[in-house]
Structure 1
Amino acid sequence: MKSALCLCLLLLGLHVQGQQQEQQIRHSPEDRSQADGENLSYVKLAPRNAEFAFKFYRQIRDELGDGNIFFSPLSISTVFAMLTLGARSNTLRELYKGLAFNLTEMEEQEIHEGFQQVLQLLNDPHREVQLNMGNALFVDNQVELLQNFLDHATNLYHTEAVSSNFQNPPEATREVNKYVETKTHGKIVDLVKSLDPDTVMVIINYIFFKGSWEKPFKNFNTRDDDFFLDAKNSVKVKMMHQKNYFNVHRDKNLSCWVVEIPYKGNVTSLFVLPDEGTMKQVEDTLLKETVANWLRSLKERDIYLDLPKFSVSGSYDVKSLFKKMGVTEVFSDQADLSGVAKNLPLKVSKVIHKASLDVDERGTEEIHLSEMVKVVQAVYSWLQKVPEVWHMTG
């Protein structure tokens, strides 16, 4: 078996297409125009988020080389989109550009409403898959957030605001870790090792996904097999097997196979199998247009499907990656986040994104976590004999 590339990005575009199909079935012709209008924001959001996803993917690939890559662009873009509620001036413009938003094509209100609708759809309790997504804002009890920022973060981004005592670092650390452990169903414990007493705010975004294959693999068909990392190197893995009907596409231009493996419910995954020596070629052309073409070209075929059982995880310094993508001011002393807190200049000092994925015969379990560490620093430090430094960590 040749090296396989798994599109483990939580691609909003795939979700939106399926949701639109459901709505077309559910609504009568008279209601359809109204439904289309109501959902216009999140439909417009999908291609932008996909564009950001592949741009971020290429940035990680260029930095890591041949290492495994697994992350959720939706988790990252949601956190930074929420932050734009309090960003101003050039800081705001850089954030929107980095997230692939063009304000001449999509207004700010549409962006925020789009994320609000996506969060509502993803947290639908009637889904057959288990999917939870949300945000938490831990704020030092001595910090006064601006009411407009707090209201919009709560209403548009499903954000829980929690008053914390960061003057007692061990207590605050336990509080944050307990929250994360609960929201990730016990899969992530002790996320934050310590918080210093200068901490004033921690922002957390979490996604927990657990889905069962629509066509599960049988355990007795799983056996040891070779998985080729490249032309010369291979490892022994537990390979799952089944013969069944799946949607498949052969991309002759990119020399790869694409197979769609659906979950129960309105969720699907794409797995890409490049021909030997063509992995980089496929990665270089990973764009939203490429995936859209694959989706249009899928055809059902009876195939023998071999898929390895595997676990993959990733941890990324988003600050470093964003700066290479041209988003710099929000991390500097020139950051304008004046719409977040009252009389308290802020900048982002650190952003860590963590994700894990387990794939077996029954389905997959994914966890995505964006942990933001921020610094509050006196911008006009020359007015003071000794600049006062505040830390916002998480």
Structure 2
Amino acid sequence: MKSALYLCLLLLGLQVQGQHGSNLNDEQQEEKIHHSPEDHSQSEDENLPHVKIAPSNAEFAFRFYQQIREEVGNKNIFFSPLSISTAFAMLSLGARSNTLNQLHKGLAFNLTEVEEQEIHVGFQRVLQLLNDPHREVQLSMGNALFVDDELKLLQKFLDDVTNFYYSEGISTSFRNSAEAIKEINNYIETKTHGKIVDLVKTLDPETMMVLVNYIFFKGYWEKPFNNLATRDDDFMLDAKNSVKVKMMHQSKAFNVHRDEKMSCWVVEIPYKGNAVALFILPDEGTMKQVEDVLLKETVSNWMQSLKKRKIYLDLPKFSISGSYDIKSLFEKMGVTEVFSDQADLSGVAEKTRLKVSKAIHKAVVDVSENGTEAAAVTVIEAVAMSAQIPPPPHIRFNKPFLMIIVDKTTHGILFMGKIVNPAAKED
């Protein structure tokens, strides 16, 4: 049994706006563009470019959460803000004029604080750090461009997506739509270790390029839950309704913060390696109040206020997923031009006007104890009881809660979610 598995994927389809020009030459047609981030030095850069883009990425994450929350209402939410930011930042390499300005604004980048070049160097460094093979957390993130064999990409765009985003370039014939869909879905299934299958159902007849970003994360809790302590329990969907869940238990010291003003508990559960899960448990009836202040400043304050203390912790096992139409969500955030006939993506290809026709995102999360099926060892932990004043708080995640996965190496929010019903079937 895996302890926690997170994966997500963003897919962008670009379609032609006007007449397209000459074919790719044979060399470009055969070319597979792939630079492995592991080839690069892991030494820290002096100006830490990934740290420079972290505040913008965090701001985008919380803005986007609010947008999804508005759209889906009282349902489970799970997505990777970093996947979405990376894909659109990569696309911005080919955007010009107002299309570019809207993308920067939508991704929360202020060019008076961070230069355009620094944005791409920042993402380059994030990719290098996340793909470091020496990390204890198994994490891989990458990009691919499926390019129609009649589309001639500009050399500068090709060089930049390869250099900054380590993108693979895969020549595809979109005239054979069924074959192209199969090829893209096979790539996605491979990169997500079989967790996301048949994501692409259809392609626009005018599609000339598909951009894919994937992220795969498998983490093991630093302090695993004992599966012998997991038992059936009630999870309150609201004041009157509940569902049965498998509830995990621990009685250990964790980094904890009680925010009296916001009426919520914050518990940090570390993974082996340099990543943590932040679980936020609002008091009964205060979820909206907590969500309303879910900003990077709030979460930053919570993380700075964490103190190690013993708690009795109840956390449900759950597997949920989220699928989102990024196009409609971005349009509500003011990023409209890139999806319209006014799109200026003139930095992508020669003699071809492109616009984004489709942008979809899917994320999956599975949280459990961290047992390994092949192990035949049972450990039962006994601790001495002592009269503690006051007794450790019992924090029960038996009602809707929030979850944020933070990578401490890159200062990045990898995933965000709201678990309203841990027993809900995946979409």
Shorter-chain TM band: 0.7 to 0.9
Inter-CA distance 292–9: structure 2 relative to 1 (3 Å threshold): farther
Deviations 1:7-58 (A, max 9, x none): x999xxxxxxxxxxxxxxxxxxxxxxx946241x211111110000000000
Partner SS, residue 70 of structure 1:
strand
Query: Are residues 1:347 and 2:355 paired?
Result: yes
Q: Partners in 1 of 2:327 and 2:45 — Cα distance?
A: 37
Aligned position for 1:257: 265
Query: Are residues 1:176 and 2:184 paired?
Result: yes
Q: Partners in 1 of 2:202 and 2:104 — Cα distance?
A: 32
Q: Partners in 1 of 2:140 and 2:88 — Cα distance?
A: 19
Query: Are residues 1:333 and 2:344 paired?
Result: no
Per-residue deviation at 1:196? 5.6
Aligned position for 2:64: 56
Q: Is the 8 A contact 1:70 1:312 kept in 2?
A: yes
Match of 1:77 among 75, 85, 88: 85
Query: Are residues 1:315 and 2:323 paired?
Result: yes
Per-residue deviation at 1:355? 0.4
Query: Are residues 1:215 and 2:190 paired?
Result: no
Match of 1:167 among 148, 167, 175: 175
Match of 2:101 among 68, 93, 101: 93
Name whichever of 184-193 and 305-314 sits farther off: 184-193
Q: Partners in 2 of 1:169 and 1:325 — Cα distance?
A: 31
Q: Is the 8 A contact 1:226 1:237 kept in 2?
A: yes
Per-residue deviation at 1:171? 2.1
Q: Partners in 1 of 2:291 and 2:152 — Cα distance?
A: 45
Per-residue deviation at 1:104? 0.5
Aligned position for 1:109: 117
Q: Which amino acid aligns with 2:352?
A: L
Inter-CA distance 157–194: structure 2 relative to 1 (3 Å threshold): same
Per-residue deviation at 1:195? 3.7
Q: Partners in 1 of 2:94 and 2:274 — Cα distance?
A: 34
Query: Are residues 1:230 and 2:238 paired?
Result: yes
Q: Is the 8 A contact 2:7 2:365 kept in 1?
A: no
Q: Which amino acid aligns with 1:316?
A: Y
Q: Partners in 2 of 1:128 and 1:177 — Cα distance?
A: 29
Aligned position for 2:132: 124
Q: Is the 8 A contact 1:168 1:197 kept in 2?
A: no
TM-score between the two structures when normalised by the length of structure 1? 0.82
Inter-CA distance 94–198: structure 2 relative to 1 (3 Å threshold): closer
Q: Partners in 2 of 1:201 and 1:35 — Cα distance?
A: 35
Match of 2:46 among 18, 37, 44: 37
What runs of 5+ residues in structure 1 fail to find an aligned partner? 1-7, 11-33, 370-394
Query: Are residues 1:360 and 2:365 paired?
Result: no
Aligned position for 2:76: 68
Q: Which amino acid aligns with 1:165?
A: S
Q: Which amino acid aligns with 1:317?
A: D
| Paired residues for 1:138-287 under 5 Å | 138-195=146-203, 197-287=205-295
Q: Partners in 2 of 1:170 and 1:226 — Cα distance?
A: 45
% same residue: 73
Paired residues, what number? 336
Q: Is the 8 A contact 1:89 1:336 kept in 2?
A: yes
Aligned position for 2:395: none
Inter-CA distance 44–164: structure 2 relative to 1 (3 Å threshold): same
Q: Which amino acid aligns with 1:155?
A: N
Q: Partners in 2 of 1:285 and 1:260 — Cα distance?
A: 19
Q: Which has the higher contact order (CA 8 A, sep 6+)?
A: 2
What runs of 5+ residues in structure 2 fail to find an aligned partner? 1-5, 9-42, 372-402, 406-413, 416-427
Deviations 1:212-251 (A, max 9, x none): 0000011110001111112222111100001111000000
Q: Is the 8 A contact 2:7 2:363 kept in 1?
A: no
Q: Partners in 2 of 1:9 and 1:99 — Cα distance?
A: 21
Q: Partners in 1 of 2:58 and 2:87 — Cα distance?
A: 16
Deviations 1:296-320 (A, max 9, x none): 1000011111000001110111111
| Structure with the largest fraction of helix | 1
Q: Is the 8 A contact 1:246 1:300 kept in 2?
A: yes
What RMSD, in angstroms, separates the aligned Cα atoms of the two structures?
2.0
Q: Partners in 2 of 1:179 and 1:134 — Cα distance?
A: 12
Partner SS, residue 37 of structure 1:
coil
Q: Which amino acid aligns with 1:74?
A: L
Q: Which amino acid aligns with 1:95?
A: L
Aligned position for 2:379: none
